[in-house]
Each structure stands twice: as C-alpha cells, then as structure tokens.
Copies of this chain bind each other. A is one copy, B any other.
Amino acid sequence: MENNSEIKTKKIEFNLSSSFLQELINKIEAKDLFSVNDLLSKLHPSDIAEVISNLPEKNRFELIALENFKINPHVIVELTDELQKEILEKISSDRIVKIINSLESDNALQIIENLEDNKKEKVLTKIPIEDKNLFEETLSTYPENSAARIMQREFAAVPEDWTVGQTIDYLRETSELPKEFLEIFIINQLNIPIGSVPSSRVLRTPRDVKMNSIMKNNKFLIPAEMDQEQVAYNFEQYNLFSAGVVDQNQKLIGMITVDDIVTVIKEEAEEDTLRLAGVSDEEISDSAFSITKKRFIWLTINLLTAILASTVISLFNASIEKVVALAILMPIVASMGGNAGTQTLTVTVRLLATKELISSNVNKIVSKEFLVGFYNGLIFAVITGLAIFVWFKDYHLSLLIAVAMIINMTAAGFFGIFIPVILNKFKIDPAISSSVFVTTITDVFGFLSFLGLASYILQI
C-alpha cells in the first residue's frame, strides 16, 4: 500500500529526454540490471511503455533478455499491439502465465490475442481451467473489436432485494471482485441486470435502505457483440463512466469502463485524419520499407487518376499548342477545386462520424455545401479573373478562367459532400475512399471546363 503523506510537487507529466534514453541504453548495454531498475522504478507503467517504444530495437531486446529483469505486466498492456507481439515472443510462456494471472480479464485477453498460435496454446493450458474456458469462449464467440473483447469479466453485482448494509458486508467479505468498480449492478434471479447504483451513492445511503430503491435504471446495457466504435459512441453521447455488458439472453457477463473507451474514441477520430490522407495502420516503430509498402496502394491509385486527368488535357493539345498560357493556368483551376472539395469532404466525414449528418438533415446540408461551392466559385472567379488580366492583359483568358472557376468550385462543393454521403449509405468508410473520387472529379472538371471553354471561347 502506498502510504506517504509527503507533498509531491514534481511535474505530473514525464518528458522523455534524449539524455535519459542514452543513460538507459548505456546501462542496458552494460547489463547493469540494478541501475536499469532504478531508472525505471520511479516511472508510471505508461511512461515505461513510452521509454520502451523509443528504445532502438536491439536495445529493447537486450532489455527483455536481461537476466532477472521483470517487466511490469501493466507496462506490456500499455504498449501498442505490434510491440506487445514483439516482446511477448521473447518472454517464456511461464512468465507470460504469471503476467496473465496478475491482470484483470480485459488486459489478460488482449495479451492472449497477441500471442503466436503455438505459444497461445501453451499458455492457455497453464492458466486456471475456468479462465481458459472463458477466454476461449470469448475468442470463438465474439468478433474482434466487439464489446466482449474489451470488457472485463470482473464486476460487482447484488440481488435486487438486498439492502445497502448487506451489500457493504458482501463487498467487504468477497475477494473475487475487481480492484475498483464505479457502480454495483443489481441483478434479478435470472442474472439479468435491472439497474445499477454508483459506489458513491451506496456510501452515502443508510444501511437499511434497499438497493433497488436507490438504483438507476440500466438504460445503457451493451450487447456483447456490439462494435467497440458503437460502444464508444454511446459512452460519449450519454456521458457514461461504466456500463454492463450482456449476452443474447440479457444476462450480465461483464462491464466496460470509460478508461478502456478513451483510447477507442481517440483512435476513431485519428483514423479519419490518416485515412483522408491515404495512410492507415502505421506505427512509429515501422521500418521505412514497411511504410513504403503500406502507402503504395494509395499512391498507385493517385497515379491512375493523375493519368486520367492528363488524358483530359491531351484532348486539347491543339489548343495548348496555340495558346501556351492555357498550360500555365490550367493547374490553378484544378487546384482551387481540389482544395474546396477537400474542405467539404473533410467536414462531411467528421459530421458522418459524429452522427450529426443524418437522414433527417442530409438534404439541407447537401444544398448548403452546393451553395458554399457556388459562392466560393463566384468570389474566386472575380479575384482570379482580375489577377489573370493583370498578368496576361487578355480579357478572354480572364473570362475563361472565371467561368471555369465557378463551374469547378460548385462541382467541388457538391461532390465533396455527395460522394462521402453515398459511400456511407453503402456502408463504405467515406474517410478511406472519398478523397480519390473527389480530387479526380475536381481535376477532370477543372481541366475539362477550362480547356473546353478555351477551345470554344478562343475558337481554337
């Protein structure tokens, strides 16, 4: 038990410095276990995980291989899946069994998921049989990223007719409870949760009061097969701290707490950022080669669409040969459309992800973006038209670029929202696939409207 009334004034946050890292590397290379432990002992498991992530691979393995170096199970939990896999490979199955037995079931399951098949079997035979059965059942019954995979099996629950006093006595006497819990579930004789009482409310209520008279209705029970992103949405929308997880028969089988969900919420929002730029699933520990491989497909698609845009230009090579200014100016129209389209697209993807853009307002919002595109077109038609007149002293060219700008930016506004909405309707992630459609359209429209109008207006 930590029992120390000294006042801590140190910064709450750990900032990993190059000098700290270098010192640790030196101690690891000197196989100086005592100093390594001393350096790490003051750090929170999350910070140790950060340190380990930043060690060069060679030193990371040397650290794990240090005789008698015991890694804190919670440090492993805080590592990315990729690093977990890497490190678990190097640890004996006996030690992994110890690690698993010391963790709550959600973290233990995560570690089991990250073992290679051979080791997984070995480890499963060595843990208590009832745990083994539960883990195997979860892995075989519920898909990856479902609520069951992130819930913990440990929770506190009492029958509906108990009093506060009975509950407190039970909690004091029972050892098989989670270390901490935010609420106590009230269950009926079928193990079906009918409500819950926050721990603090139990604390504040006299012993003779019935639990079911102070309980909140359990409106937010999570089906075990629900996707974790949906779970995260519910936690966020309804400000939940914890929620019970039920199986198909509505029986309570676990609980999810908000700390497990914070990461999901953040990753979901981040995922969109990365997907919109054509990146996904990269880890900072990936090699240059593996990153190149991961980004290859997106760049290939972009190459194809760029060639498509070029074929549009090639339709007008006669015009370009006569008026070379067309070649000079055509990227401006395409670029403005591309940017306006990306703005609309990005906003739309976020509105879809946060469920703000829904069937009841989609027509209104699409019309609005169309209008924004048109306004933008008008504004930049004037600005660009003037700029080009100053540059080339040719009002034909000015008129030409102005009209093309209106057409392309209006198209950008419309397709910037239309495409992600349609993809979303067909259950395709709009973040991952919209960019390529939208920028292709704005390129093609940009070149086509500008060069097409040119061959008409300039009679070439």
Contacts and interface: CB of A to CB of B under 8 A. Distances in A.
A229 to B, nearest CB: 12
Nearest to A218: B8
Given A258-B259, A276-B277, A203 B213 contact: no
Interface stretch (A32-40, A115-123, A136-144, A286-294): A286-294
Interface stretch (A61-69, A97-105, A370-378): A370-378
Given A276-B277, A288-B368, A358-B16, A203 B339 contact: no
B180 A198 contact: yes
B236 A336 contact: no
Interface string A323-364: 011111111101110011011011101110000111111000
A1 interface: yes
A230 B15 CA distance: 13
Contact of A194 (B5, B200, B284): B5
Nearest to A284: B356
A274 interface: yes
Nearest to A231: B12
B288 A375 contact: yes
Contacts of A72: none
Contacts of A331: 306, 309-310, 313, 331, 334, 443
Nearest to A318: B324
B314 A328 contact: yes
A6 B20 CA distance: 58
A310 B328 contact: yes
A422 interface: no
Given A258-B262, A343-B279, A336 B21 contact: no
Contacts of A384: 303
Contacts of A289: 375
A35 B445 CA distance: 50
Interface stretch (A82-90, A125-133, A219-227, A452-460): A219-227
Contact of A4 (B204, B217, B236, B358): B217
A226 to B, nearest CB: 9
A299 interface: yes
Contacts of A146: none
A110 interface: no
Contacts of A329: 310
Contacts of A235: 262
Contact of A360 (B21, B274, B295): B21
A162 interface: no
Interface in A205-240: 205-206, 212-222, 230, 233-240
Please indicate which of the listed interface residues A53, A182, A324, A330 has the most CB atoms of chain B within 10 Å of its own CB: A324
Interface of A: 1-9, 12-13, 15-18, 20-21, 44, 46-47, 53-54, 156, 160, 168, 171-172, 177, 180-182, 188, 192, 194-195, 198-206, 212-222, 230, 233-241, 250, 257-259, 261-263, 265-266, 269-270, 272-274, 276-279, 282, 284, 287-289, 291-292, 295-296, 298-300, 302-303, 305-307, 309-310, 313-314, 317, 320-321, 324-332, 334-336, 339-340, 342-343, 345-347, 349-351, 356-361, 365, 368-369, 371-372, 375-376, 379-380, 383-384, 387, 443
6 contacts: A2-B195, A156-B200, A182-B200, A278-B342, A303-B384, A317-B324
